[in-house]
Every structure is written in structure tokens, then in C-alpha cells.
Amino acid sequence: MVYGTVYPKNETFDKRIIEQLNSIVPGGVSDKEADRIVYSKDYWPIALRWYLDGTVPALPDCIVWPENAEQVAGIIKLANDWRTPVVPYGEGSGVVGGAVPVKGGIVVDMRKMDRVVEIDDASLMVTAQTGINGMNLERHLDREGYTMGHIPQSLYCSSLGGWLACRAAGQFSTKYGKIEDIVVAIEAVLADGSFIKSKAVPRSSTGPSVERLLLGSEGTLGIITEATLKIWPYPEERAMVSFIFDSISHALETVRKIMRKNVYPAVVRIYDKNETLRHFYIKNKCMLILLMEGDKELVKLEKGISVKVCKSEDGNECGEEPVLHWLDMRFNVKESSEFTPKGFIFDTVEVSSGWKNAMSLYKAIIQAMRNVDGVVVASGHASHFYPQGVCFYFTFGGLPPKHVTPFKFYESVWDAIMEACLREHGSISHHHGIGLMRAKWLKEEMGERMSILKKIKKVIDPNNIMNPGKMGVGNEE
């Protein structure tokens, strides 16, 4: 081995585990060095920096590709017997290090469990295995005349299981909801190898929804193997409109008023002045884009109401063009991959806020980023909206000053953002989750609830085999 690792190697892994895994998943196991390097990271931007510098974030001991839930249960039981870590892996598009195997062990890549099990037209539901790629699931539904309405920017490179495990949010979420609103039922294998499965019914009043503990658990409690989601008839009509405003506070106030009317455009996005210039080439203004879709008459009504509010708030109408531009560019992630090899440290951080504190939180976070020595880009947009508040999505970039390591610089900006967010009463993550990057902040975010989360983890996973080292919930902290 000619390279170093950021996290120490697992020295306790017993090679007999590979043999036993092979009997559970014949031909579906690898401990080849090339495979172990591939699964040493996810899309966490700082991990790419380490990679380019010749350091591997963390090596798993092997990778296994199960084809059904029984095999998943077999793998987890075996891991429990050997007390070896299990790291669930969807497509590795997580951006906070959630799938990095920091304690080594077995990476369980779910991509072979990619079947659409059933579309129930009468109940408007689809059931699929969780290793399915997001775009493949949406394409399958589109062909049959439906949409699930969950379209994250990472649609092409993320899985259903990853969405559920991270509580993802799609770009059309203001109308269709986030993944926890869209999911109806799940099947999962818990840390002791036992199965849980909930019923595909719209609602039950049968005590706490135990299975919902898995949503947002980021692989620390078990592996979600199948899920039933709400779907919708493919939209009959789409309407697009955009407005520019003199300030972000004005644009935010406009959308707050639209939301109060119980009108839910599918896509609502507000870009601050820096991002309006970057994405739409308009100086000193803030762009608001709106996209409505669904039933023809409803779309007409939603557009009419939204336009009326925008005009009454002195918005200047810019037509469809900016929305079409956004639709063309929405899966383009070139920026991040282009700048990292040049030494630029770059990331995005999403947080949420109630309307009352939204503007002060936005200002505090922009200022906090700018205060860190070396930061040259600090901007934001608002991407998901509720009658109660908003999700801000910030971007920072810069070059570490002399004698500051890339990680130290990166961590300083993150710390500044997290501190400002908590000070301004925001939540530290709207949809990317906790992983490694936010783990040290979760305690402050959760307060007393953190000790309950730790107790739950201990009951479900007493041997701490499921994705250890993540979210600050295991017994290693």
C-alpha cells in the first residue's frame, strides 16, 4: 500500500468473514484493493481533496452486493457475530461523509436491489427495492404515466434507500413534499438481522410509527430494503414565471405571502444578488422563479394567484426564460468538480429557518462565511418553502491561507456557518443530513433529544455495528 488513509485502518478484521459472506451472497463479495479504494468515500467534497492529494479517506475491508432482503439479513447477522462494522451504501452521493467507512468493515452496496415491485394505480403508490437509482425509478414511473415528484439535483446519482436514510428533499418539494411526506411504508432489516415492515395504508392511529425511526437514521440502525411511495398522474400542464426584486428580503416576503394563501408551486427558488449574477447574468437584483404543474385548471389558478402577489410586491416580471434556463442547468454540478483540482475548497450547506428569523439567519451566515480568512465566495439561495419557513442553501469557496491545511480551512467555514445557524434559531440541516461533517453539532441541535436517540441506538444496535462513527450516536463517542 503506497498511500495513507485519513481514518486508521481496521486491524481486527478476520478474513474468515469473506468466506462466510461468500456463502450468503455467492459471487457477490470483493476484497480487492481497487474495489476497497472505490468505496472509501462518498461525495463529501473534502474527501475528493484528500483523494487528489493521494490520501484515501477510509478503507472498508470488503464490499458485498446483496440481491434480496434475506441476504441483507444474513450479512447483518454475520457482522453481529463478528462485531464487525456494516456500512450501507446507496450510490455514494451523500455530501457529508455518511457512507465513508471510518471503522472499516463491510460495505453493503444496495444497487442490485433495484426492482420496481408494484404500481398500485387505484391507491397511487409505487413499491420498489431501495437500491434503485433515482432517475431509473422516475423514468419507469413517467413511462407508466406517473411521477413521484421527488426530483433532487442528485436524481441521476442517488438511490431510494439513500433518500430515505438521509431525509432528502427534491427540487419540486414545495408541492410534492420531502421524502418523509412521500413515503407510505418501508421494509427494513434492523441491526440484529430482524425484519420490520409497515403497512401501505395512508395513515394509522396505532401508536408511534416505529418504522419512521429509520428515516434520517443514515444507516446507523439498519438497512432499508423496500419502500412504498406516493405517486401522481404525470402533470397535465406546466406553467413557468419569474420575477426580479431589489432585495432578497423583498423576494422572501413575497413568497411568504404566496404560501399563506395555501398555494404550492412545485418549484420556488430565490437567488441572492451574487447567485442571480452567477446564474442569470443580472446585476444587483434577486431572481425568483416559480414553476407550477398538475391539473390544467389548478395550474392556471396557482399561477394567477402567485403572479398577483408578486406584482403587488413590486416584482418585475421576467417571463419563462429564467425558469427554462434553470430547467436546463438544474443537474449541472460542474462547478464543484472543476474547482477542487485547482486547490479551491468549495462546499454547499443547507439549513432551515422559521420565517420570523429567516432574514437575520441569512445575513448572519453570509457574514460568518465572509469572516473566515481565505473565503472568496459566499452566497446563497432559498430552495424549499413552507407557510412556516424556508430552506437556505449556502455556497462557500476559497483558498486556505498559508500554513492552514485544506481540512482546517474547510472546517473553520463549516463551524462558522453552524454556529451562526444555531445562534439564529435555525436547524443545522434541511436535507443533506449529519454524516461526519455535522456530527459534532448534532448534540447542540437536539438538546435532550440526543440522549433519547443514543438510547434508541443502544437498544436496536447494542454492538454498534451499523455505520459506527456517524452522527455521534454510537458508543465510541
Ligand X SMILES: Cc1cc2nc3c(=O)[nH]c(=O)nc-3n(C[C@H](O)[C@H](O)[C@H](O)COP(=O)(O)OP(=O)(O)OC[C@H]3O[C@@H](n4cnc5c(N)ncnc54)[C@H](O)[C@@H]3O)c2cc1C
Q: What residues make contact with ligand X under the rule CB under 6 A?
A: 42-43, 87-95, 98-99, 110, 130, 152-154, 158-159, 161-163, 165-166, 168-169, 171, 218-219, 223-224, 333, 431-433, 467
Shortest distance, CB of residue 456 to ligand X, whole angstroms?
15
Alpha helices in 96-201 (DSSP H): 134-143, 160-166, 173-176, 179-182
Q: Which amino acid is at 302?
A: E
Name the residue nearer to ligand X (CB basis): 259 or 391. Answer: 391
d(CA 456, CA 464): 11
Q: Rounded to the nearest whole angstrom, what is the least distance from the CB of residue 21 to ligand X in the complex?
A: 18
**Long-range contacts, 15-23 (Cβ 8 Å, 24+):** 17/61, 17/62, 17/78, 17/79, 17/82, 17/84, 17/106, 18/62, 20/78, 21/62, 21/64, 21/75, 21/78, 21/106
* C-beta of 89 vs 264, nearer to ligand X: 89
The SS3 call for residue 219 is coil
| Pairing state between β 106-109 and 86-89 | parallel
Cβ nearer to ligand X, comparing 130 with 353? 130
Read off the C-alpha cell for 420.
451562526
Distance between CA atoms of residues 369 and 401, nearest Å? 15
CB of 119 to ligand X, least distance (A): 21
Provide the minimum distance between the beta carbon of 129 and ligand X in the complex, in angstroms, as a whole number.
9
Question: Which lies closer to ligand X via its Cβ, residue 223 or residue 358?
Answer: 223
Closer residue to ligand X, CB minimum distance, 42 or 302 = 42
For ligand X, the closer CB: 158 or 242? 158
DSSP 102-119: TT--EEEE-TT---EEEE
Q: Compute how many other C-beta atoms are within 10 angstroms of the C-beta atom of residue 37.
A: 17
* Least distance between ligand X and beta carbon 113 (Å): 8
Mapped onto helix, strand or coil, the DSSP state of residue 468 is: coil
Measured from the CB atom, is 257 or 330 closer to ligand X? 330
Least distance in Å: CB of 94 to ligand X? 3
**Residue 333: CB minimum distance to ligand X, A:** 4
